[in-house]
Amino acid sequence: MITLTRLRPVLALALVLAAPAYGEGVSGQVSLLSNYVWRGIPETNSNPALQASVLAEGPVGLYARAFATTLDYQGAHARADFSGGIHNSTPSGLGFDVGATAYCFTESPLNFEETYLRLQFGSLSAGAYHDWQHGNTYLEVGYRTRLGSGIHFMAHGGHTSGDTVSSYDDYGLGLDKSWGLFTAGVFVTTIDRHPLSGLHETRVALVLSRAW
């Protein structure tokens, strides 16, 4: 069983090794969302969410990332994610990303950790995420392409299964456009059955973000 205690040294090591990235190796983003949907599950009860993230990249593809969001989910009003790993690409152009994430809610019983492997080749991507403590797995595939004039189209499909969650599928489509450091987008997500209510749900979210 992999627990947060075992993951902390990995995340700490990634942060230490990524720190020497100097100024150009540190980036961030602040976003305002009309509705936050994570893996098909609405986590703000259809209310707006404010999010921020910081990414530090170091030598040989090592990185550390911190992310925070407001939410309204099972009594929790905020969540902070801490990730560390390594990403790079092969000579054939296949990109890979291997790491671990600790999810920390203001309601500690919701906390969990997972390891992940993500692959990308051109506009196509795929990922596998596993929560070893609870035996839950999330699989996803994605497509993102440039349409021109700073506009991007994206499509997403995911499948959740495991020992402590009911299996379900989620899908999404989106468009975004960038103006310098600012990006605005609209995203539509749907889920075949909510693991708690059993209902089919479709959500629309508007997003405005600024990178730095």
DSSP assignment of 27-80 equals EEEEEEESS-EETTEESSTT--EEEEEEEEE-GGGEEEEEEEEEEEETTEEEEE
Domains and CATH numbers, the chain: 4-211 (2.40.160.40)
> Closest by alpha carbon to 22, among 52, 54, 58?
58
- pLDDT tops 90 at residue 58: no
- pLDDT tops 80 at residue 113: yes
- pLDDT tops 60 at residue 8: no
Tell how far CA 207 is from the center of its chain.
Answer: 15
- pLDDT tops 50 at residue 159: yes
Q: What is the pLDDT of residue 133?
A: 92
- Indicate the average pLDDT of the chain: 88
Task: Express the helix, strand and coil content of the chain in percent, nearest 5 each.
Answer: 15, 65, 25
Tell how far CA 147 is from the center of its chain.
Answer: 23
pLDDT confidence bin for 212, thresholds 50/70/90 = confident
Q: Is the model more confident about 9 or about 175?
A: 175
Q: What tens digit of pLDDT does each residue of 41-57 get?
A: 889 988 999 999 999 99
Average pLDDT of 20-45? Answer: 84
Q: Which amino acid is at 147?
A: L
Give the sign of the dihedral formed by CA 41, CA 70, CA 15, CA 62.
Answer: positive
- pLDDT tops 70 at residue 19: no
Q: What is the pLDDT of residue 101?
A: 96
- Expressed in angstroms, the distance from the first to the final Cα of the chain is 38
Q: What tens digit of pLDDT does each residue of 70-80 get?
A: 999 999 999 99
d(C-alpha 44, C-alpha 142), whole Å: 24
d(C-alpha 180, C-alpha 184), whole Å: 11
Average pLDDT of 112-134? Answer: 97
